Amino acid sequence: MDLTLKIWRQKNAASKGKFVTYKISDISPNSSFLEMMDILNESLVLCGEDPVAFDHDCREGICGACSMYINGHPHGPDKAITTCQLHMRRFKDGETIVIEPWRARPFPVLKDLIVDRTAFDKIIQAGGYVSVNTGGIPDANSIPIPKVKADLSMDAAACIGCGACVAACKNASAMLFVAAKVSQFALLPQGRVEASERVQAMVAEMDNLGFGNCTNTGACEAECPKEISISNIARMNREFLSAKLGAQKPSGRTGSDA
Amino acid sequence: MAELNSKIPKGQLAEKWTNYKDNIALVNPANKRRLEVIVVGTGLAGASAAASLAEMGFKVKNYCYQDSPRRAHSIAAQGGINAAKNYQNDGDSVYRLFYDTIKGGDYRAREANVYRLAEVSNAIIDQCVAQGVPFAREYGGLLDNRSFGGAQVSRTFYARGQTGQQLLLGAYSALSRQVKKGNVELFTRHEMLDVVLVEGRARGIIVRNMVTGEIERHAAHAVVLATGGYGNVFFLSTNAMGSNTTAIWKAFRRGAVFGNPCFTQIHPTCIPVHGDFQSKLTLMSESLRNDGRIWVPKQKEDAEKIRKGTLLPTQIKEEDRDYYLERRYPAFGNLVPRDVASRAAKERCDAGFGVGETGLAVYLDFSDAINRLGKSTIEARYGNLFQMYEKIVDENPYKTPMMIYPAVHYTMGGLWVDYELMTTIPGLFAIGEANFSDHGANRLGASALMQGLADGYFVLPYTIQNYLADQISVPKFSNDLPEFKLTEEEAVNRLKKLMNVRGKNTVDSFHKKLGHIMWEYVGMGRNAEGLKKAITEIRALREEFWKDVKIPGEMNEINPELEKASRVADFLELGELMARDALHRDESCGGHFREEFQTTEGEALRNDQEFMYAAAWEFTGDTQEPKLNKEVLDYEFVEVKQRNYK
Ligand SMILES: Cc1cc2nc3c(=O)[nH]c(=O)nc-3n(C[C@H](O)[C@H](O)[C@H](O)COP(=O)(O)OP(=O)(O)OC[C@H]3O[C@@H](n4cnc5c(N)ncnc54)[C@H](O)[C@@H]3O)c2cc1C
Ligand code: FES
């Protein structure tokens, strides 16, 4: 396949970026999108040019590192996959492909297609955990959990933290990301204990980091490579409301975490 | 000469760990706060260790090369994690898990360590459930299990096909809680380049800030390496693109001995190679062998037609299929250990029965299971794996059998450690895949996650105290000590040297060549002649690399080519050591198959008289050959047998 690539190039966080056009030819339709980028980069290096920097690691859709905004969609045109799972057979010979980084204020560009997503780590640090220390835990089967609930929790827990939801949202809202974590725990007895503090702390941190509000456009769900359901946002809103109303007073927190 | 003292506690097997814990020195809470520990790596081993140490009160600094600790390679583990819970009432026990692991490793692991691993396995599951890890459950609300290779019980816990992800997110959440509390300082996008020794003890590391390019010196009372495996020495592997050997290789060069470098696991079920642009290989979890049956055509003519595309696998009648694992190993069938399954696939393909365009593939067929259990059950069990397969191969595995072929997956070798997980450098510990581990010459499926979390949650946090207890009077280290400056200078000079080669060929082109040599001569089948050739070829390639590699850009910016070059330079040294180790071990055991040493039936033939030891290689200088030390393995509690899965 022969393709024209319009790629966002930006030297570093401080400099201004611009689109640069590259021609690339003889790409196998069986190669992955990132392998196509590898081939481009090999040729750039051989010409003494700076290759295009992008995040990637597992190349199988689970680490959440890859993050390209391709032809107007986070992770490209296909549903339910990450950039690294996208294959060139999805494109037409001769097509022009536009490749950009995630664009959202809380995710500043570091270089070319690499952005800084530490804001997501900060949200988790604010409360995305169950406060248990290592050791001294009762047997894993001491609390049975209905399969349906465990499965729903797993659906939410499948989030890979890539940030496509934020990139897809015109408000750069992180609601789907936060709601997925809040839901995973809220659905399990182990997580219920701190559900109220957790949702408040995580939402406060999200606001604090400059993520926008949710206006229910549903773009996040549509672009999520793991198909995390927007119903998690509804669940989080309920959790948040009942926490605010004090329906669930903080309880059961261990002393060390108070 | 390095002194190998494995520090195995005295007493009965089942009492060793308890005795050890009862008698070690501990650090009191006030002193813990004054002690700093560096943990490199945020995978299962690193994140669990960093979180647990911080909970205990130590001050921890934690590093990873990714942008977030949650992206460590452990995230990609699919199938599950073992534990001896015996929830299925199928006769499992700590002893049986221990025994299976020792046997699976072909009697090349240390009994005491393996027993401890089996012993703490149950606490791992308890811990993860308490953290909110959503393991698969049965309708009654209790935890579900599946079977993995090399075992006749169901002891594998799982979270769909994303077990590693869920376990890692559990450890990451525990870590995040400690970051919030100020007990862990995180350094993401930081790559460790060297370890710093002060008066013979590990006291810090040199890292490169991968965003600014700055080289930084970090000091602590002890250093823990949890940097994962080195399978990427083969270029193509199932490891993440950034997985590397740099941290443990630099430790080796500074005096830590390297255990069994040639013990590599080739995983039988990976998506076959499809082109030379390929950048990595994708695993199809071993759990698929619970329900998938492996076969190739019985007739060569059929195989040929399939390769040409004139015959479809679904057109081959039942009686014309050779379910070769079921045929050769009736007792374990499709669930033989990985090394056995991989070699059997290679044997069939080499004999001309392989399928796929290249002939280097066999079928993994789910049609029986779909008929028996229904498509929806199979989808619930493996849906994400099937989707992953379809995305890559563009074929629907519900309708046509999957094609699979063995690929490099895991390295049993790593830094040699004693019972306390300390290397031969005092104060330098290695945990998870980075150490030479509890898996001997072959790791059983679902046991790496178990080992990583055992090391990080339940073993290291104790054993490191036995070291730190006599460090309490040592004041906080200054990173201005001459040792830090010198090591930093060496790291900077090496990067400068790389940048200044200004050759004509890309880093990847060298890495691919290295991978080719490794796969050809140090891969699934090895022989003395090939290994000697590998050593010569790797040396030549290394020289060429340092004369001809081309790295664009600058040192003081984000520079992925420089990152890769620095890693490949280390792989180019490690590869030679692996070949040397494989050459010296005149026997076949586990994943190490020397073609000269096999039974008449083509099974691995061990030589216990001469090789019942862990090979621990010691660096003696760039121009000299490494020195071999031996840790002789004493089997006090199990009877050593020829492995038999028939
Ligand atoms: C595709 C796949 C599936 C698997 N499935 C299973 C399974 O089902 N069950 C099972 O038991 N095992 C499985 N394994 C094996 C298992 O996942 C690994 O052995 C295990 O996760 C390794 O964990 P770790 O913590 O030792 O290292 P890793 O998870 O590899 O973590 C290494 C860490 O070190 C950091 N690091 C590395 N080098 C440097 C450096 N130079 N400087 C700074 N930081 C560095 C990285 O950033 C990372 O944080 C699988 C492996 C693969 C490849
Ligand atoms: S590289 Fe890991 S999800 Fe794409």
What domains can be seen in chain B, in order of their start residue? 270-406 (3.90.700.10), 482-609 (1.20.58.100)
**pLDDT value for B285:** 87
**pLDDT value for B1:** 59
Q: Could you give the C-alpha distances from A138 to A142, B81, B102, B530, in angstroms and in order? A: 7, 19, 29, 53
Is A84 near ligand 2, meaning CB less than 6 Å away? yes
Per-residue pLDDT tens digits for B213-266: 999 999 999 999 999 999 999 999 999 999 999 999 999 999 999 999 999 999
User: Pick from B178, B234, B232: which is nearest to B65 by CA?
Assistant: B232
Type and span of the H or E element at B631: strand B627-632
B270 pairs with which residues across the strands?
B283, B405
Query: Which residues fall within 8 angstroms of residue B626, CB to CB, at 6 or more apart?
Result: B577, B580, B617, B618, B619, B620
pLDDT at B645 > cutoff 90: no
Per-residue pLDDT tens digits for B420-440: 999 999 999 999 999 998 999
| Domains by residue range for chain A, with CATH | 3-110 (3.10.20.30), 117-247 (1.10.1060.10)
**pLDDT value for A249:** 52
Give the gap in angstroms from C-alpha A5 to the nearest C-alpha of chain B.
Answer: 18
> Is there a contact between A150 and B136 if contact means CB atoms under 8 Å apart?
yes
pLDDT at A257 > cutoff 60: no
Type and span of the H or E element at B294: strand B293-297
CA of B229, closest atom in ligand 1 = 30
Q: In testing the pocket of ligand 2, which one of A55, A58, A159, A226 has its CB within 8 Å of the most ligand atoms?
A: A58
Mean pLDDT over B508-526 rounds to 97
Top-confidence residue, B485 or B478: B485
Contact B159, B168 (CB under 8 A): no
CA–centroid distance, B65 to ligand 1, in Å, is 12
pLDDT at A251 > cutoff 60: no
**pLDDT value for A253:** 43
C-alpha B321/C-alpha B156 separation (Å) is 30
Contact B294, B270 (CB under 8 A): no
- How big is the A-B interface in CB pairs under 8 Å? 223
Per-residue pLDDT tens digits for B10-57: 999 999 999 999 999 999 999 999 999 999 999 999 999 999 999 999
Mean pLDDT over B144-157 rounds to 91
Per-residue pLDDT tens digits for B540-555: 999 999 999 999 999 9
Residue A59 per-residue DSSP state: S
Q: How far apart are the first and last CA of chain B?
A: 43
**pLDDT value for A254:** 41
Contact B413, B258 (CB under 8 A): yes
C-alpha B35/C-alpha B589 separation (Å) is 42
Name the closest ligand to CA A61: 2
DSSP code string of B375-434? HHHHHHHHHHHHHHHHHHH-S-TTTS-EEEEEEEEEES-EE---TTSB-SSTTEEE-GGG
Per-residue pLDDT tens digits for A153-199: 999 999 999 999 999 999 999 999 999 999 999 999 999 999 999 99
C-alpha A193/C-alpha A251 separation (Å) is 7
**pLDDT value for A234:** 97
Work out the burial of residue B562: count CB atoms within 10 Å of its CB; fewer than 13 is exposed, 13-18 middle, 19 or more buried: buried
Put simply, whether the predicted model's pTM sits higher than 0.90 gets the answer yes
pLDDT at B578 > cutoff 50: yes
**pLDDT value for B381:** 84
Work out the burial of residue B307: count CB atoms within 10 Å of its CB; fewer than 13 is exposed, 13-18 middle, 19 or more buried: middle
**pLDDT value for B475:** 87
> Is there a contact between A191 and B274 if contact means CB atoms under 8 Å apart?
no
CA of A85, closest atom in ligand 2 = 4
pLDDT at B476 > cutoff 90: no
C-alpha B119/C-alpha B121 separation (Å) is 6
pLDDT at A252 > cutoff 50: no
Chain A residues near residue B391 by CB distance under 8 angstroms: 61, 81, 85, 87
Using DSSP bridges, classify how beta strands B36-40 and B59-63 pair: parallel, antiparallel or unpaired.
parallel
Residue A53 per-residue DSSP state: P
Please, which pLDDT band fits residue B416 given cuts at 50, 70 and 90?
Answer: very high
Contact B545, B510 (CB under 8 A): yes
User: Pick from B407, B282, B394, B408: which is nearest to A28 by CA?
Assistant: B394
Q: In testing the pocket of ligand 1, which one of B74, B195, B218 has its CB within 8 Å of the most ligand atoms?
A: B74
**pLDDT value for B286:** 85
Using DSSP bridges, classify how beta strands A3-9 and A96-100 pair: parallel, antiparallel or unpaired.
parallel
Chain B residues near residue A61 by CB distance under 8 angstroms: 388, 391
Nearest Cα residue to atom 3 of ligand 2: A61
User: Pick from A39, A35, A31, A25: which is nearest to A89 by CA?
Assistant: A31
Percent above pLDDT 70 for chain B = 100
CA of B231, closest atom in ligand 1 = 53
> Is there a contact between B508 and A50 if contact means CB atoms under 8 Å apart?
no
> Is there a contact between A128 and B174 if contact means CB atoms under 8 Å apart?
no
Mean pLDDT, chain A, whole residue set: 95
Mean pLDDT, chain B, whole residue set: 96
**pLDDT value for B477:** 81
Please, which pLDDT band fits residue B644 given cuts at 50, 70 and 90?
Answer: confident
**pLDDT value for A190:** 97
Nearest residue in A to B553, CA atom: A50
Residue B472 per-residue DSSP state: T
Dihedral angle sign, alpha carbons of residues B428, B48, B46, B116: positive
Instruction: Determine whether B338 is an active site residue.
Output: yes
Per-residue pLDDT tens digits for B614-638: 999 999 999 999 999 999 999 999 9
> Is there a contact between A128 and B387 if contact means CB atoms under 8 Å apart?
no
Does the CB of B48 have a partner CB in chain A at under 8 Å? yes
Query: Which residues fall within 8 angstroms of residue A45, CB to CB, at 6 or more apart?
Result: A51, B506, B550, B552, B561
CA–centroid distance, A57 to ligand 2, in Å, is 6
**pLDDT value for B149:** 82
Contact B85, B120 (CB under 8 A): no
- Residue B260 has which token pair? 């069994």
pLDDT at B2 > cutoff 80: no
Per-residue pLDDT tens digits for A6-33: 999 999 999 999 999 999 999 999 999 9
**pLDDT value for B601:** 86
Please, which pLDDT band fits residue A256 given cuts at 50, 70 and 90?
Answer: very low
